[in-house]
Amino acid sequence: MNAFITIGFLFFQALSPAPDTPIHEWSVKGRAQGTTYSLKYYFDKEIPQKEIDSVLHIIDLSMSVYQNNSLISRFNNGSGLAIDMDPHMKNVVTKSFEVNKLSKGYFDITVFPLVSLWGFGPHGFSKVPSQQAVDSVLQFVGMDKLYMQGNTLYKTDPRVQIDVNGIAQGYTVDCLAQFLSNKGVQNYLVELGGEIRVKGRKPDGYFQVMVDEQNDVDKAYTYPILSIENRAVTTSSVREKQYKAEGKMVSHHINPVSGRPITSPTISVTVIADNAMLADALDNYFMSLAPAEAIRIAEKMPSVELCLYYVENEQRKVLHTSGFNNYIYGKSNKPYTE
């Protein structure tokens, strides 16, 4: 998902494949999945961008709801109740079931009909739906209406539709990272839509990820710079996609239980995890929780750190897990800490 917190970065270190082999810094930028991507890496040769775009194209053919011929679109729009998944779709759906259980149902890829009903699907916004319309759609929302057998995904109701946008961009970042590793690259930063995966270091130290709000910047507030090595960083925010209707801001984060956009004091969350797919899924889950509850749950998760910004009594505040400070560059961002 696209990050409301802008994640800027400084780059990299490489371990030379051989003492006499020159190492160069390479940079690749492009567009994919409705957003931008950027790769920085140190290597002795440049990797053709067409190979990178090929990886992205294959993933789109699997899981893009904006492509009519993708696997996920055929599952959503076809008359059948099953589809044979490719490895990409299977990986993402399998992890989605895991996070759905972990989140007690708050992370749910079957919310696509609700996302569309509220105007955040391929057809855009037309009007705020009535409660009757929401209740009607809720009848075929819920991951209990999906099941897997081998490589096949089944739905118990033909109206069930899935959207893996809340996890697939993180997965794509992991795929690009694995692609670079398979090429022999030891030090890189991969970013897509603000989701980041890092391996190794830059020549002068850690990769640095700057967390800086784009909107309503509080000039008196200092946001942290993170030092990252061999981890992933993702973000989620109420302002990624939203519109104003009936005097209220409506967010694309939909509660699969109520069928309505979430209402939470949380503005945005930043998650650090071992891989971007998990971090991407968790940032959606944490957005749906009360700030203190999100921190409590994250503290119990191994190798996961969380920082969230929220509003209380019209004041911007921050909470973070106990280990998040270990990633703050220089640990000198005094206004950031509680």
197: enclosing H helix or E strand: strand 195-199
Backbone angles phi, psi at 126, to 5 degrees: -125, -50
Give the per-residue pLDDT at 127: 72
C-alpha 113, offset from chain centre: 20
Q: What is the pLDDT of residue 250?
A: 57
What are the residues facing 261 on neighbouring strands? 254
For the chain, residues with pLDDT lower than 70 are 1-21, 121-126, 212-223, 239-252, 330-338
Residue 310 CB contacts under 8 Å (≥ 6 apart), including other chains? 264, 265, 266, 267, 291, 316, 317, 318, 319
> What distance lies between CA 286 and its chain's CA centroid?
12
Work out the angle at residue 151's Cα, subtended by the Cα atoms of residues 161 and 94, and round it to the nearest 5 degrees: 65
**CA distance to 14, 46, 80, 231, 283, per residue, from 200 (Å):** 7, 18, 46, 9, 24
pLDDT tens digits, residue range 64-100?
A: 988 889 999 999 998 889 999 999 999 999 999 999 9
- Model pLDDT, residue 219: 43
Q: Whole-angstrom Cα distance, residue 128 to residue 261?
A: 11
Could you tell me which residues come within 8 angstroms of residue 318 by beta carbon, excluding any fewer than 6 positions away? 307, 308, 309, 310, 336, 337, 338
Q: What is the pLDDT of residue 21?
A: 64
- How far does CA 205 lie from the centroid of its chain? 26
Q: Which two tokens stand for residue 11?
A: 């780059």
Output the pLDDT for position 246.
52
Sheet holding 225-228, edge to edge: 5-10, 207-213, 225-228
Domain ranges across the chain: 5-44+185-336, 58-165
Q: What are phi and psi of 233, to 5 degrees?
A: -135, 125
pLDDT given for residue 334 in this prediction: 39
CATH architecture observed for domain 58-165: Orthogonal Bundle (1.10)
Token pair of 219 as six digits = 């000039």
Q: Which amino acid is at 274?
A: D
For the domain spanning 5-44+185-336, the CATH number is 3.10.520.10
C-alpha dihedral sign at 81, 87, 92, 94:
positive
6 burial type by CB count under 10 A (0-12 exposed, 13-18 middle, 19+ buried): middle
3-state SS class at 47: coil
Quick one: which of 186, 163, 158, 150 has its CA closest to 34?
163
